[in-house]
Structure 1
Amino acid sequence: MERKAGERKYREVADDLRRRITEGEFSEGRRKLPSERDLVEQYKAITTSAMTIRQALSVLRDEGLVESRVGSGWYVAEWKPIVRNALDRLFPDRWGEAESMWDVDIEGRRLDVEDLRVQLAPAPPEVARVLGVGPKVKVWHRDRRYVVDGVPVMRATSFIPDEFARGTQITESDTGKGGVYARLREAGHGPVGFREQMRGRSATAAEVDDLRLAKGATVIEQHRIARREDGRVVECSRMILDASRYLLVYDFEA
């Protein structure tokens, strides 16, 4: 019962702080939140524990509403979440008309691709099974880090069988307008179906370094496979997203 009561307290504090932030109490020019000591005083009717205040702030940090600056305190986050609508971004009219799926996500914001590596090499065993190739068969690996407005937001690795990528720009650094899926379609292997799986988890030490995350940060691990009309998998991807930078949206028609 004590644990549940403590959980209610930090969520109650988080809910009220969220309300104050969305109502503009900490507006432009005054984005810094009160110190943890001051917040304990402000919420003393709910809790007198600094740990409870920190838990509440961590909730808002994971939602992308606040950020901690070492030696300075807590601030309302200036970051605008990346709205990632899977059904919209994977719609063939997007990449079919030579529009990058990232154009859908970032809406004109600055996008940089860093640490790009393209190579023909054996696929990891679990990837080989998904692609339907032998364990020693080489496939194309496209590994890169995406940076939006100077902030690393995602590490993505795509795997494409050589028989589908050979002779296309998929094997080059720049895949051209429309990206991998447009090139696959031009080669007669255009995907008609997709499946995505996602799970949230704590970032590994390597991911903390790669995406410049806070220790203990949450990431979204996303796996996607793309199938052509006969059911053959033409690409599978593994993506690691900084959970605090994204808003995942799914629209459905009744």
Structure 2
Amino acid sequence: MSRKPGEPHKYREIADDLRRRIHAEEFGEKRKLPAERKLTEEYGASQMTIRQALGVLRDEGIVESRVGSGWFVAEWRPIVRNALKRLSTTQWGEGRSMWDVDIDDRRMEVVGRTEVELVNAPDDVARALDMDPNARVWKRDRRYAVDGEIVMRATSFIPDDLAHNTRITESDSGPGGTYARLREVGHGPVEFREQLRCRLASPAEVDDLRLAAGAPVIEQHRSAMRADGRVVEVNRMVLDASRFLLVYDFPA
């Protein structure tokens, strides 16, 4: 029977029901879902429809496929990314990594090396930094993994006149990272502005972050300003949306 206008797709109905069952802890301690063949019988659907439903839950980070074993409720704990805590000077200003706020006791690493190069600022970066087009900036590009899973690509741009003769120009920028190095030379940020949007991953991002085709990502742009208002860094981040929980605590 064909789907009526406005009626939800069958695979989404199945995904919604499986999500409900997972939240109700129906699948017990083993956290193993029924085999795909069993699910086709339970829902009266084709194997393709079942795989589409499971794909929805996989992209949400709720289930995961294990080769030769089937589908399981995902064991991944979301990375709780608290913007106000991680950007506090009591964090990076005391030489600690901003990631320490996000990951607690989990293992975080940069995949490969942080790539650092002196480049002409892209047009949008030059505008954000209020610099002339093609002004020279240091580009720091790195990909992060938590517990062995790639979760984010971050690319930051720092004006050359602020970064030269500091460890910002090196792959390892030292304790506290870029902001601590900027503060050491009198350009420490005191204010931040972040913009976020959720969108589908591009083909290049699918490969880079090892995502499923059509998976959502969070694109996060951050500007760091020193006391006189000058922007001292622009950071572009692309996050695997299924891996993060973004938290914003605001004082009354």
Counting aligned pairs with the same residue, the percent is: 68
Matched residue, 1:19: 20
Match of residue 6, structure 2, among 4, 7, 14: 4
Shift in Å at residue 160 of structure 1?
0.3
1:119 aligns to 2:117 (yes or no): yes
Matched residue, 1:68: 65
Matched residue, 2:96: 99
- C-alpha distance in 2, partners of 1:219/1:172? 29
The secondary structure found in structure 1 opposite 2:6 is helix
TM-score relative to the length of structure 2: 0.89
TM-score relative to the length of structure 1: 0.88
Q: For 1:5-64, what per-residue CA distance to the aligned partner results, in whole angstroms no more than 9, with x for missing partners? A: 225x65554344233323433344x232113332243345xxx46565445433322321
CA contact (8 A) 1:6 1:52 kept: no
- C-alpha distance in 1, partners of 2:69/2:191? 48
Consecutive unaligned residues in structure 2, runs of 5 or more:
none
Equivalent residue letter for 1:197: Q
CA contact (8 A) 2:59 2:212 kept: no
Consecutive unaligned residues in structure 1, runs of 5 or more:
none
- C-alpha distance in 2, partners of 1:125/1:222? 18
Equivalent residue letter for 1:194: F
Shift in Å at residue 207 of structure 1?
1.5
Equivalent residue letter for 1:41: E
CA contact (8 A) 1:111 1:147 kept: yes
Count residues with an aligned counterpart: 249
CA contact (8 A) 2:190 2:225 kept: yes
Larger mean Cα displacement after TM superposition, 56-65 or 175-184 = 56-65
- C-alpha distance in 2, partners of 1:102/1:162? 25
CA contact (8 A) 1:199 1:221 kept: yes
Matched residue, 1:240: 238
Shift in Å at residue 104 of structure 1?
0.8
Q: For 1:196-239, what per-residue CA distance to the aligned partner results, in whole angstroms no more than 9, with x for missing partners? A: 11122222222122112222222111111111111110000111
The secondary structure found in structure 1 opposite 2:8 is helix
- C-alpha distance in 2, partners of 1:3/1:73? 34
1:41 aligns to 2:41 (yes or no): yes
Shift in Å at residue 132 of structure 1?
1.4
Matched residue, 1:108: 105
Q: CA RMSD in A?
A: 2.2
Cα distance 1:6–1:53, how it changes in 2: closer, same or farther (>3 A)?
Answer: farther
The secondary structure found in structure 2 opposite 1:219 is strand
Match of residue 130, structure 2, among 129, 132, 135: 132
Q: For 1:118-158, what per-residue CA distance to the aligned partner results, in whole angstroms no more than 9, with x for missing partners? A: 11111111101111112222111000111111111111100
- C-alpha distance in 1, partners of 2:11/2:5? 11
